[in-house]
């Protein structure tokens, strides 16, 4: 792997930028691998990286139907935080946040992790009580989170409107200073480059059409549009399309896939110093380093695989943002798009073995999987390599629905997140 550093940059600058090499290969698929990851997003590429780097599996492939990072990895609003209510979730998301803090160094790739603070607004007495409960629960779990008065919130985020004249005035905010954003594409590319350098084959335009099982029921091969690929371990990391693949092997999961939209404004000079979220009136906004406001809308009401959503869903979030930030009212939106997110009944993910030997699944991240990418990748690789879950992801099994151990962040947040 060609190491990236200030020195390399200087050398290439002086020699006409002719020495840069491709960051990863485009190999033909081999006929057999030790493990195959289906899905070349951040979670899948990261899983392959950890299988190769930590668990020393030498023959690993990532199969991607389109191009890597072209699914939800490239479509999300890049918010990173770990201020979840329940112990299991706090452990999971904070594990990821700690890995985010070192990810650029680990991968020798600038993922532009920017812990600029994530501020979650409260607009009603109930909102404020729930937010304070989150703050206290987080602090018991060693996760930073603090309660701000409206004046403190405005001091941290100057454009915020704390007037009591608006429909849902800001009564306070919970601030996680360690939270922030990262460059989504760089996460996929950084993992791809690091995994490739350890021998992982990243195979794009490779659509999995079936999974073959042997007489004992264990997986033995993947049928793809680029031929049959033998393997004894398959990790499925395909977000919104998880049900499509799992239904083919008769594993019915508690998932529904919904369109989730995001949009960006025309670029501005730096105006919004942190991430601002409001679950109550549904606003998610941050400013990218290019200057665009990055805005997350809600999910559409109905299940769909269309990767597009309805305009009224976007209008709803834009109306909330215009009330909270009157200075943004005259901005024009440049682009909007949708991704397909797989949602579980308790809004917590599944990172687990399945009833099919050799088949593992990492899904159900719903509307908030990007923040967990490094943690999810690390834990899923562990689960595949050891054929049992890591203690952090053990509660995130499929069996929790049977056994009644839901991790009900849906009720805790009262919103998809």
For 273, the token pair is 């110093």
The site map against another protein for 346-385 (x = CB under 8 A) is ----------------------------------------
Span of 44-52, 180-188, 296-304, 382-390 interacting with another protein by CB under 8 A: 296-304
Pick one of 9, 218, 311, 334: the residue that binds another protein (CB under 8 A). Answer: 311
Span of 3-11, 154-162, 179-187, 400-408 interacting with another protein by CB under 8 A: 400-408
Pick one of 167, 252, 290, 330: the residue that binds another protein (CB under 8 A). Answer: 252
Which is closer to another protein, CB of 10 or CB of 244?
A: 244
For 4, the token pair is 């990236």
Give the Cα separation of 414 and 129 in Å (integer): 13
Number of residues that bind another protein (CB under 8 A): 24
Binding of residue 257 to another protein (CB under 8 A): yes
Pick one of 161, 166, 401, 413: the residue that binds another protein (CB under 8 A). Answer: 401
**Burial environment of residue 151 by CB neighbours within 10 A (0 to 12, 13 to 18, 19 or more):** exposed
Which is closer to another protein, CB of 178 or CB of 241?
A: 241
Q: Where are the alpha helices (DSSP H) in 172-304?
A: 184-197, 242-248
- DSSP structure string for 110-121: ----B---EEEE
Instruction: Look up residue 239 and give its DSSP letter.
Output: G
Give the Cα separation of 371 and 364 in Å (integer): 14
Of residues 220 through 249, those in contact with another protein by CB under 8 A are: 241, 243-244, 247
Distances in Å between the Cα of 249 and the Cα atoms of 84, 210, 241, 255, 271 are 33, 8, 14, 15, 50
Binding of residue 15 to another protein (CB under 8 A): no
328 phi, psi to nearest 5 deg: -90, 0
Pick one of 140, 218, 301, 411: the residue that binds another protein (CB under 8 A). Answer: 301
Binding of residue 416 to another protein (CB under 8 A): no
153 phi, psi to nearest 5 deg: -65, -40
Binding of residue 256 to another protein (CB under 8 A): yes
Binding of residue 302 to another protein (CB under 8 A): yes
Pick one of 253, 295, 324, 331: the residue that binds another protein (CB under 8 A). Answer: 253
Binding of residue 411 to another protein (CB under 8 A): no
Binding of residue 405 to another protein (CB under 8 A): no
Strands (DSSP E) along 182-332, which ranges? 201-203, 208-213, 219-224, 227-230, 234-236, 256-265, 275-278, 283-287, 293-299
Contacts to another protein by CB under 8 A = 241, 243-244, 247, 252-257, 301-306, 310-312, 342, 345, 401-403
């Amino acid at each position: 792997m060609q190491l990236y550093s200030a020195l390399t940059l200087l050398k290439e600058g002086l020699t006409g930028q002719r020495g840069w090499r491709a960051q990863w290969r485009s190999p033909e698929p081999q006929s057999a691998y030790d493990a195959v990851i289906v899905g070349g997003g951040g979670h899948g590429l990261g899983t392959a990286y950890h299988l190769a780097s930590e668990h020393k599996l030498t023959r690993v492939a990532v199969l991607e139907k389109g191009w890597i990072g072209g699914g939800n990895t490239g479509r999300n609003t890049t918010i990173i935080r770990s201020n979840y209510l329940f112990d299991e979730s706090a452990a999971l998301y904070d594990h990821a946040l700690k890995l985010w803090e070192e990810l650029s160094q680990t991968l020798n790739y600038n993922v532009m992790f920017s812990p600029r603070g994530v501020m979650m607004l409260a607009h009603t007495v109930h909102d404020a009580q729930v937010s304070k409960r989150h703050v206290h629960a987080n602090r018991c779990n060693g996760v930073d989170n603090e309660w701000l008065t409206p004046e403190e919130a405005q001091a941290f985020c100057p454009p915020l409107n704390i007037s009591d004249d608006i429909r849902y005035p800001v009564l306070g905010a919970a601030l996680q200073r360690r939270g922030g954003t990262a460059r989504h594409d760089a996460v996929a590319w950084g993992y791809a480059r690091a995994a490739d350098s350890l021998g992982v084959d990243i195979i794009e335009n490779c659509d999995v059409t079936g999974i073959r099982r042997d007489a004992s029921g264990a997986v033995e091969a993947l049928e793809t549009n680029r031929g049959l690929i033998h393997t004894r371990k398959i990790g499925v990391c395909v977000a919104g399309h998880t049900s499509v693949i799992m239904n083919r092997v008769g594993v019915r999961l508690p998932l529904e896939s919904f369109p989730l939209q995001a949009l960006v404004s025309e670029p501005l000079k730096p105006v919004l110093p942190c991430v601002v979220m409001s679950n109550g009136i549904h606003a998610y906004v941050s400013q990218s380093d290019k200057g665009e406001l990055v805005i997350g809308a809600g999910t559409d009401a109905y299940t769909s695989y269309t990767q597009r959503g309805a305009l009224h869903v976007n209008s709803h979030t834009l109306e909330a943002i215009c009330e909270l930030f009157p200075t943004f009212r005259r901005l024009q939106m440049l682009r909007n798009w949708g991704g397909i997110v797989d949602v579980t009944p308790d809004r917590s993910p599944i990172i687990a073995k399945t009833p099919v030997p050799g088949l593992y699944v990492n899904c159900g991240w719903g509307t908030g999987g990007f923040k967990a990418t490094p943690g999810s990748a690390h834990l899923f690789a562990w689960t595949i390599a050891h054929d049992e879950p890591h203690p952090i992801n053990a509660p995130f099994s499929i069996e929790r629905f049977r056994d009644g151990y839901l991790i009900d962040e849906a009720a805790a947040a009262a919103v998809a997140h």
